[in-house]
């Protein structure tokens, strides 16, 4: 995935600029991409854009946004993959296996949640199979709040930024 970090003017909001920006980028970019709005350019001590700080900003934002989404995703997958659960809200004391779930369903839930959080969750399958729903939620919350991500440092020699482009915001 290619990331485009952008700064919007104070009079422009992302909902207004996103379609125009996405259309402009789709014509130039033939790979999957994401647009990340940053408040300002982080600079190194030499006055250059700090790519590592941009990556850290993205990871922090992803984790902050992920916890509520992960809980909703867990509940949806739990209901979809257990045969006895017709509840729109999963009771906290329900276990996956007693609700009709199986080990393949637990693996699928684990894979989906690992993808959503962007990190490995080696204990999750065991927790889904053996613990209550509320315990699985608590585990996901504790993992997300630790914010211990693997250190994927961007090599300075290879990190290149395209020159900034200006996107005009037009409000209708």
Q: Is residue 90 part of a domain?
A: yes
94/113 same-domain check: yes
Q: Is residue 73 part of a domain?
A: yes
83/134 same-domain check: yes
- Look up the domain containing 28 and give its range: 2-57
Q: Is residue 83 part of a domain?
A: yes
70/137 same-domain check: yes
R_g of the chain, CA atoms, integer Å = 20
Which secondary-structure segment (H or E) carries 35?
strand 33-37
Contact 37, 8 (CB under 8 A): yes
Residue-level pLDDT, tens digit, the chain, 172 residues: 788 888 888 888 778 887 888 888 888 877 777 788 888 888 999 999 999 988 888 877 766 665 557 788 888 889 888 876 555 667 888 899 998 899 999 999 998 888 777 788 999 999 999 999 999 999 988 887 765 444 433 344 444 555 555 566 665 5
100/52 same-domain check: no
135/67 same-domain check: yes
Cα separation, 33 vs 19, in Å, equals 14
103/135 same-domain check: yes
88/133 same-domain check: yes
Residues 6+ apart with CB under 8 A from 113: 70, 73, 74, 77, 121, 124, 140
Position 119 scores a pLDDT of 80
- Closest-CA residue to 61 (of 2, 144, 136, 138): 144
Q: Is residue 111 part of a domain?
A: yes
Position 129 scores a pLDDT of 96
Residues 6+ apart with CB under 8 A from 95: 130, 131, 132, 133
Q: In 3-state terms, what secondary structure has residue 109?
A: helix
Q: Is residue 153 part of a domain?
A: no
Question: What is the CA angle 43-2-165, rounded to 5?
Answer: 60
- Closest-CA residue to 139 (of 128, 148, 129): 128
Cα separation, 76 vs 122, in Å, equals 21
> What is the number of domains present in the chain?
2
Position 36 scores a pLDDT of 82
Position 156 scores a pLDDT of 41
Cα separation, 40 vs 36, in Å, equals 12
């Amino acid at each position: 995935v290619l990331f485009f970090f952008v700064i919007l003017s104070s009079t422009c909001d992302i909902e207004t600029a996103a379609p125009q920006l996405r259309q402009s980028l789709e014509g130039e970019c033939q790979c999957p991409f994401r647009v990340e709005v940053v408040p300002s350019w982080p600079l190194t001590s030499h006055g250059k854009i700090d790519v590592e700080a941009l990556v850290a900003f993205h990871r922090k934002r992803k984790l902050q946004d992920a916890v509520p989404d992960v809980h909703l995703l867990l509940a949806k997958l739990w209901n979809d993959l257990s045969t006895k659960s017709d509840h729109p809200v999963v009771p906290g004391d329900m276990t996956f296996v007693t609700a009709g779930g199986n080990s393949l369903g637990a693996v699928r839930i684990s894979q989906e949640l690992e993808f959503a959080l962007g990190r490995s969750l080696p204990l999750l399958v065991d927790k889904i199979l053996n613990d209550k729903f509320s315990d699985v939620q608590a585990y996901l919350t504790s993992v997300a709040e630790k914010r211990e991500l693997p250190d994927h440092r961007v090599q300075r020699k290879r990190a290149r930024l395209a020159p900034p482009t200006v996107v005009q915001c037009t409000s209708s």
